Chain A
């Protein structure tokens, strides 16, 4: 995927290869989006059955078997996945990112757009689908535990998943695109992944409040407003999109395009 150019010969060979390949390959995007959606549909089916069957009383053995087991598995898997992804993207970084050929740069821009779209799909499932789902479950079923069936999916699965994808996209941009690697730190892109990321640590406030303050699940309670504050940072996609489109325009207008 990446061009690791230790020598000018390697760079020249890579550029020759780059010129032949299509710029936009939709297959990784399709696989990434479909994998997330199919996975969450399966999760939703699991919730449907085991939420009512084993998710009502956290003191029962069934709860430990069918819900806490998921928590114990997903947390280390997410941490390992995060470290592996960051490590891979760093290890395979372009060490001469300032001198990427225009065609290869545009290809990487499309790879970044794919990262952002998969991030958007993950954001939808986490911030919209599973968060409002948490509302109906917790307003219906009495909570007796911080780790409820909806929380085990929402907080500890869907939020880490979009964080991992978001950090992955940011790392990709920082290590492979001159616009994001050489001009400094994009304020908008930092806000775009740090803001939604902070929703996850904010879970600590939420659980503290529901444990020591009040148990009712009034959704508009001030206890929940820090989630809102960090949700606002999703709007930083505006700045990121302007930076990406700006660079596409620069590439398109930087030199004459052959008619045929």
Chain B
């Protein structure tokens, strides 16, 4: 019904091809120039130039890039933020959830998703090595605005209770491995493992004071625990706080490295899957009908 009356029927096909590489075009170890956007078929005829001159063409091509980059940032921000807050949000919202077991385990695993997909898109199609940092900056913009305007501004929690997890060092590591190695396999193994390992040390400078022990009415607890007890969240009571559970207590102080290595291991697997998710959503195919 929507279809017009084409003078030349365009084939239903991809207009942009991925660059060649191992695993069927999923990146290469050797530096291979990325496929230009629109370099493949000319399935729809171009009957003349739309530009009056080269200056106008230069301006408009740059304008198109800029508009799309801003759109990408905001849309990825929205998608990544809703993914993040509903898979690891409680550990990120509150200081008394930032424990030594679940926080360094869960966050890297669920957060490596969008960066892996974005690395596929930016690296494979544009040879731009900032996919992970692009996603993480978007997420942090969304989180910081919310923590100030809503957590503090509407429901009056102090920022010391609700600061979001620092993620930029992890993202930079992931992107740097992609840039230096030029290989998505190496990025998956080395980068995603580093992504998992770096969460705790990246946040330690701000987190350490809150994990100091203190005594209150005969009970030993951390400063983070006390802040949590003081600021009661009525619809998220203490009995559903998921922290410091499990037999890993047996290992005493060494639980964080174990959690981080496990997290890094699973991040490798998640990176692998989400590289292909990025490829799936970068499709330029057309369907004959829906």
Residues of A within 8 A of B (CB): 23-24, 29, 44, 47-48, 51, 94-99, 101-106, 109-110, 113-114, 116-117, 119-121, 123-124, 126-129, 131-133, 135-143, 174-175, 178-179, 181-188, 190-191, 196, 199, 215-220, 224-225, 227-228, 231-239, 241-252, 254-260
Contacts and interface: CB of A to CB of B under 8 A. Distances in A.
A250 B46 contact: yes
B243 interface: no
Interface in B41-66: 42-44, 46-54, 56-57, 60-61, 63-65
B185 to A, nearest CB: 21
Contacts of B207: none
A217 to B, nearest CB: 4
B117 interface: yes
Contacts of B83: 228, 231-232
A237 B71 contact: yes
B36 A23 contact: no
B281 interface: yes
B10 interface: yes
A114 B40 CA distance: 26
A254 B48 contact: yes
Q: Which 10 pairs show the lowest CB-CB distances between chains A and B?
A: A254-B46, A246-B38, A234-B79, A184-B286, A127-B78, A249-B38, A120-B74, A128-B142, A102-B50, A245-B37
Contacts of A102: 46-50
B2 interface: yes
Contacts of B37: 242, 245-246, 249
B173 interface: no
Given A132-B142, A141-B234, 10 more contacts: A48-B154, A98-B5, A102-B46, A135-B93, A185-B288, A185-B290, A196-B78, A228-B87, A232-B277, A256-B49
B48 A98 contact: no
Q: How large is the interface on B (under 10, 10 to 19, 20 to 34, 35 or more residues)?
A: 35 or more
B160 interface: no
Contacts of A227: 82, 86
Contacts of B64: 109-110, 113, 244-245, 248
A259 B125 CA distance: 29
Contact of B281 (A110, A175, A236, A243): A236
B225 interface: no
Given A117-B67, A117-B70, A185-B290, A124 B142 contact: yes
B54 to A, nearest CB: 5
Given A44-B149, A103-B50, A185-B287, A24 B60 contact: yes
Contact of B61 (A94, A187, A248): A248
A232 B71 contact: no
Contact of B78 (A123, A133, A217, A241): A123
A101 B93 contact: no
A187 B146 CA distance: 33
Given A216-B236, A237-B72, A252-B57, A133 B154 contact: yes
A259 B53 CA distance: 5
Given A220-B88, A235-B117, A114 B38 contact: no
B212 interface: no
Contact of A216 (B71, B76, B142, B240): B240
A255 B52 CA distance: 12
B253 interface: no
Contacts of B3: 181-182
A48 to B, nearest CB: 6
Given A48-B153, A255-B48, A188 B281 contact: yes
Contacts of B5: 96, 98
Contact of A121 (B74, B91, B155): B74
Which of B15, B40, B150, B233 has the most chain A CB atoms closer than 10 A to its own CB?
A: B150
Contacts of A242: 15-16, 37-38, 125, 282, 284
11 contacts: A113-B71, A117-B74, A120-B71, A127-B78, A139-B235, A215-B235, A228-B87, A239-B282, A246-B40, A254-B49, A257-B49
Contact of A139 (B4, B71, B236): B236
B283 A141 contact: no
Nearest to B6: A98
Interface in B141-187: 142-143, 145-146, 149-151, 153-155, 157, 162
Contacts of B75: 119-120, 123, 234, 237
B77 interface: yes
A182 B43 CA distance: 10
